[in-house]
Structure 1
Amino acid sequence: MPGGKRSFTPEERLSLFQEAEREGYMETCRKYNLSPALLSKWKQRYLAKGAEGLKPAYKRVDPEVRALEEENERLKRIIARQALEIEVKSVLLKKKLLSNPRKSNADQTIF
């Protein structure tokens, strides 16, 4: 049997859980190569929430949505970097203007 992660639909989980109730947990675990802890987790979810508890607990994120979110974050970083550069340049320009005021015509001497 290939060593990959298997996924079960909620219907398959329910049928495996019911088979384990009828034929015994260890026998079902051996037959389908499942962990007893997995069947016990399914049982707890089924008893707590019914068939709704056997659905996968995670939400799949659409790859296109994920790509758009990543692009959005990248663009936000670019805008923040540009805003910071503009602010620094304006502060430096103000300091330069304040430290080097223009000389008035009376102060200038012509030789």
Structure 2
Amino acid sequence: MKKQRRVFSPEDRLAIIQEGQREGTTVTCRKYNLAPSLYGKWKNKYLSGGVEGLKPSYHRIDPELRALEEENERLKRIIAKQALEIEVKSELLKKSPIQPRIKR
């Protein structure tokens, strides 16, 4: 059976840190089934950045921005394909001999 990942809000983290300061780190970690190293990371983030330090540090990319980036990549591929076609055609024109016109 796979263990489900728990998600703690910044308020929950702050409450756990405060409880750990009152009742002790070991007791609190056992109560919430937390690794002491995780508790230490939360505490260090709280001491260095306050409540803002406890917020998640990852940034979600705006869906509109992601769509624009995908369109940009698609257009770059189209341009690269066209540039390659032009280069191949110009190489073929260079190699093909010019036929002299016959006057009648």
TM-score range normalised by the length of the shorter chain: 0.7 to 0.9
Q: Percent identity?
A: 63
Distance of 2:6 and 2:60 partners within structure 1: 16
Are 2:68 and 1:82 aligned?
no
Which moved further from structure 2: 57-66 or 38-47? 57-66
User: Which residue identity is paired with 1:38?
Assistant: L
SS in 2 for 1:82: helix
TM-score (normalizing by structure 1): 0.76
Distance of 2:48 and 2:18 partners within structure 1: 16
* 1:60–1:28 distance in 2 versus 1, CA, 3 Å: same
TM-score (normalizing by structure 2): 0.80
Alignment root-mean-square deviation, CA? 2.3
CA displacement 1:26-61 (0-9 Å, x = unmatched): 111111111111110011111111111111011122
Are 2:98 and 1:101 aligned?
yes
SS in 2 for 1:75: helix
* 1:72–1:104 distance in 2 versus 1, CA, 3 Å: closer
Q: Which has the larger radius of gyration?
A: 1
* 1:74–1:45 distance in 2 versus 1, CA, 3 Å: same
Counterparts of 1:29-40 in structure 2, within 5 Å, are 29-40=29-40
User: Which residue identity is paired with 1:70?
Assistant: E
Partner of 2:59: 59
SS in 2 for 1:3: coil
Uncovered stretches (5+) of structure 1, i.e. residues with no partner: none
Uncovered stretches (5+) of structure 2, i.e. residues with no partner: none
* 1:3–1:71 distance in 2 versus 1, CA, 3 Å: farther
